């Protein structure tokens, strides 16, 4: 087996990679002296991947099927997957996002046994037709539970206001009515297509011998047969501009909740999306970071509290900022946020604040290298986007003030969307 080792001397890190005969790409990040080991097996299959061309032929699936399949891979009529990991002293989990699904575990012992279980239950599904039928009611309850959660309702309201009927505005689990269209045969076909080893990545980190690790993975893969992977072309629409009239809902909350959404332009590639996310992170630190004068003014005035937060997402299909939290006056807060962004558009970024926050983000990014979970999950996510996690650091160091200002000027602040959940008695 051939190995490739890429060193990042400025970070004192390296990645050793190999491709298994099955096509599975394996990445290993050595962490000498670490007691725990962490692994993630991921595929670029998420909630927005609902339409695909298979060798030129259209194939459509219901909303929520990626999340449903994640649930069913944990089904084993003979053994509980969670209990098998627990018996080995390990914890296991999985998640589905808009663009990917990942399965992961962490352990300090019995690593080889745990990794074999991970590869087997993800690659050799054991779910049954009856299990699929039973799962519908379980996920239906999960959907209803989320619909009753104010934090989720206000966030989803912002997405729906920004994107209308685009898949990113749908619940990752779909709607209850979608579940009846998901059956055993459809799940098996989706697994065969989207969980083919040639589409997936396995990332491992810890104090391990990489040759022994790759030999063990190769042996596991040799016990399985996979059909040839057809030509797959995902048909994900680019989001269209919609009328941004954010919803106002009334639920059992003590204080109003808000989500302020601001659309950004879509990018041309996943690599550009990663770079734009870094520029946006720097903009947010300068604009509303906890050390910024503007954040502290809003906090002192009582417009925001510790619940306040912001996220930025960039993809070739949708991109946005969402500010959220609790506030006694969401409309006034939204107006303040938009007014400050407009002021920055007109006046520019303070050079000293830019330099201070660039150093801050660089330091925080380097600190993240000490966390097995964060480094493995970020590496797998970036690999699925045809990028390298460790190259982010050099990109971050090279960001200029003009890059931040260019992103700032690209925002159309007149098309923001404010979603609010009010107390029932208001």
- Catalytic residue numbers read 70
Q: How far is CA 300 from CA 295, 296, 326, in A?
A: 9, 6, 15
3-state SS string over 241-303? Answer: CCCCCCCEEEECCCCCEEEEEEECCCCCCHHHHHHHHHHHHHHHHHHHCCCCHHHHHHHHCCC
CA 283, CA 407: separation in Å to the nearest integer?
A: 8
Between strands 37-43 and 201-206, the pairing is antiparallel
Q: Going by C-beta distance under 8 Å and a sequence separation of 6 or more, which residues neighbour residue 107?
A: 36, 37, 85, 88, 89, 90, 91, 114
Q: Other CB atoms closer than 10 Å to residue 426's CB: what's the count?
A: 8
Query: Would you state the structure tokens that stand for residue 416, as one six-digit string?
Result: 């923001």
Of residues 245, 381, 365, the one with CA closest to residue 313: 381
End-to-end CA distance of the chain: 67
CA 61, CA 187: separation in Å to the nearest integer?
A: 10
Q: How far is CA 83 from CA 10, 77, 86, 90, in A?
A: 41, 13, 5, 9
Fill in the DSSP letter of residue 96: E
User: Reduced to 3 states, what is the DSSP secondary structure of residue 8?
Assistant: strand
Q: Going by C-beta distance under 8 Å and a sequence separation of 6 or more, which residues neighbour residue 66?
A: 45, 46, 47, 49, 96, 101, 172, 190, 194
CA 426, CA 423: separation in Å to the nearest integer?
A: 5
The sign one gets for the Cα dihedral 101, 124, 104, 151 is: positive
- What percent of the chain is helix, strand and coil (3-state, nearest 5)? 45, 20, 35
Q: Going by C-beta distance under 8 Å and a sequence separation of 6 or more, which residues neighbour residue 78?
A: 126
CA 227, CA 3: separation in Å to the nearest integer?
A: 25
Of residues 244, 242, 276, the one with CA closest to residue 385: 276
């Amino acid at each position: 087996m051939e190995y490739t080792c890429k060193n990042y001397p400025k970070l004192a890190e390296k990645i050793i990679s190999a491709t298994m005969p099955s096509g599975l790409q394996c990445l290993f990040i050595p962490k000498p002296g670490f007691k725990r080991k962490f692994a993630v097996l991921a595929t670029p299959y998420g909630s927005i991947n609902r339409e695909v061309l298979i060798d030129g032929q259209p194939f459509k699936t219901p909303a929520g099927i990626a999340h449903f399949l994640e649930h069913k891979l944990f089904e084993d009529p003979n053994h509980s997957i969670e209990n098998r990991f627990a018996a080995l002293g390990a914890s296991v989990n999985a998640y589905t996002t808009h663009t990917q699904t990942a399965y992961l575990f962490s352990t300090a012992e019995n690593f080889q046994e745990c990794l074999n279980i991970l590869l087997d239950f993800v690659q050799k599904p054991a779910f049954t037709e009856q299990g699929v039928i039973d799962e519908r009611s379980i996920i239906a309850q999960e959907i209803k539970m989320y619909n009753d959660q104010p934090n989720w309702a206000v966030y989803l309201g912002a997405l729906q206001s920004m994107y209308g009927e685009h898949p990113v505005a749908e619940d990752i689990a779909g709607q209850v009515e979608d579940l009846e269209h998901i059956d055993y045969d459809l799940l098996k076909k989706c697994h065969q297509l989207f969980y083919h080893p040639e589409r997936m990545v396995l990332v491992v980190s810890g104090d391990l011998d990489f040759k022994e690790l790759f030999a063990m993975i190769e042996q596991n893969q040799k016990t399985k047969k996979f059909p040839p992977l057809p030509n797959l072309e995902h048909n994900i629409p680019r989001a269209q501009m919609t009328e941004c009239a954010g919803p106002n809902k009334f639920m059992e909350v003590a204080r109003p909740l808000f989500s302020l959404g601001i659309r950004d332009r879509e990018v041309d590639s996943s690599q550009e999306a990663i770079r734009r996310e870094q520029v946006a992170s720097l903009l947010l630190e300068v604009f509303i970071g906890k050390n910024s004068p503007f954040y502290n003014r809003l906090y002192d005035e009582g417009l925001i509290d510790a619940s306040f937060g912001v996220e930025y997402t960039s993809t070739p299909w949708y991109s946005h900022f969402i500010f959220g939290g609790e506030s006694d006056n969401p409309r006034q807060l939204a107006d303040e946020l938009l007014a400050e962004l407009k002021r920055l558009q007109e006046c520019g970024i303070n050079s000293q604040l830019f330099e201070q926050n660039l150093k801050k983000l660089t330091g925080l990014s380097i600190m993240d290298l000490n966390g097995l979970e964060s480094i493995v999950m970020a590496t797998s996510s970036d690999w699925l986007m045809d990028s390298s996690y460790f190259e982010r650091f050099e990109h971050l160091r090279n960001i200029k003030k003009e890059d931040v200002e260019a992103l700032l000027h690209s925002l159309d602040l007149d098309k923001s969307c404010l979603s609010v959940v009010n107390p029932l008695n208001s």
